[in-house]
Amino acid sequence: MGGSGGRQNKGQSKDQSKPGRPGGLTYAASGVDIEAGDRFAGSIQSMMRRTFGPRVLERGGGFAGLVRLDYNESLFKHNFKDPVLVACCDGVGTKLRLAIELGRYDTVGIDLVAMSINDLVVESAEPLLFLDYIAVNAVDQAVLTELMAGIGKGCELSGCALIGGETAEMNDLYAPGDFDLAGFAVGVVELKRATDTARVEPGDVVLGLASDGVHSNGFSLVRNVVDHAKLDLGKAYPELGGDNGDAPTLGDVLLTPTRLYARPIVRTLRAYKVKKVVTGMAHITGGGLAGNLCRALHGGVDAVIDPGAWDVPPIFPFLQARGGVSDDEMAKVFNMGVGYCLIVRPTFADSIARRLEKLGERVYRLGTITKGQGRVRLKD
């Protein structure tokens, strides 16, 4: 299926132009249902259009989506002088296995968008477009619709257009019920506004934005803990909070989607059009705080972090205790409650924190930048 969004179904193969003799081999008999794939692709067009902004060009029958780098309507004029495209891709990892085991597919689509878009805005980029790739054993309309609803919601919340994607049926690679996801994001930034580690200076302040739990990293260890401790994904454990009937199950907590930081970050950066008050940023994913914040530093500075400066969500001590995981291993694998970091000029730290809080973020003052060697150190 083509269409304005450019979504394709892998079942559309040149093979269909060569019909077999009666009783001969067919694509359907090989496990690929072209019609089912086309029906699914057609069914999500309205959801995709909800993510379109004025940059998207709707052209029927296309094999790809079209997005203006800038738009020329006088009402929306937003011209770049030296635009740079920013692109990245990512997946959801083995968190998908929990979604499959629980039959819950409404959150991992949001995870897919967040993992790429959160990386994208680290470069001070404004998200433009998103593409997804879904590989399945066979088209299951109900499952795919849930997945796409999450992807669409993630794009809407991030302010980017879902302009296309691919659904691939590969029953010789994926067992029944299994699937995989990949996402691809493109954004744009004015070159002089792009993130540059050289701007980070001693005295700058490190702000942390709270995570919504495990996000989408470390799930091989999570699943190992669940198996080792014989935990019940459908059980509400007292340590994980909630009141009686409102208590979330372990599965609910683990499938909480990755927090989307794009809108608050983009809006905050736009508020400072002249002064470059944000000197560095980091999306805290696999590798934890130390393993990701160091990527925002140059070789002449260190980030000195107060380990008691933020609240650790209950899921982390719960997993650590049930799995006997060391402190070092937890910090190396998980975000431990901080999903995103900004390095900011000290005189603007309080105003930026207040702005982000008004935009719905929980903000922690994690530490400061000192002279150093490009490391992240814990405050004594």
- Tens-level pLDDT at each residue, the chain (380 residues): 333 455 666 554 334 334 445 566 655 655 666 565 566 566 666 666 777 776 766 666 566 767 777 766 554 556 678 899 999 999 999 999 999 999 999 999 999 999 999 999 999 999 999 999 999 999 999 999 999 999 999 999 999 999 889 999 999 999 999 999 999 999 999 999 999 999 999 999 999 999 999 999 999 999 999 999 999 999 999 999 866 667 899 999 999 999 999 999 999 999 998 889 999 999 999 999 999 999 999 999 999 999 999 999 999 999 999 999 999 999 999 999 999 999 999 999 999 999 999 999 999 999 999 999 999 999 98
pLDDT given for residue 68 in this prediction = 73
pLDDT given for residue 23 in this prediction = 62
pLDDT given for residue 1 in this prediction = 33
pLDDT given for residue 80 in this prediction = 79
Rg (CA), the chain: 23
Distance from chain centroid for Cα 246: 27
pLDDT given for residue 131 in this prediction = 96
**CATH 3.90.650.10 region(s) of the chain?**
197-378
Determine phi and psi for 161, rounding to 5 degrees.
-90, 130
Kindly list the distances between the CA atom of residue 175 and the CA atoms of 36, 135, 165, 316, in Å, as whole numbers in the listed order. Answer: 18, 11, 22, 32
Which one of 3.40.50.300, 3.40.50.170, 3.90.650.10, 3.90.340.10 gives the CATH number of domain 197-378?
3.90.650.10
What is the second-level CATH architecture of the domain 7-193? Answer: 2-Layer Sandwich (3.30)
Which residues lie across from 87 on neighbouring strands? Answer: 186
pLDDT given for residue 47 in this prediction = 66
Which residues lie across from 367 on neighbouring strands? Answer: 206, 305
With beta carbons less than 8 A apart as the criterion, state whether 31 and 138 touch: yes
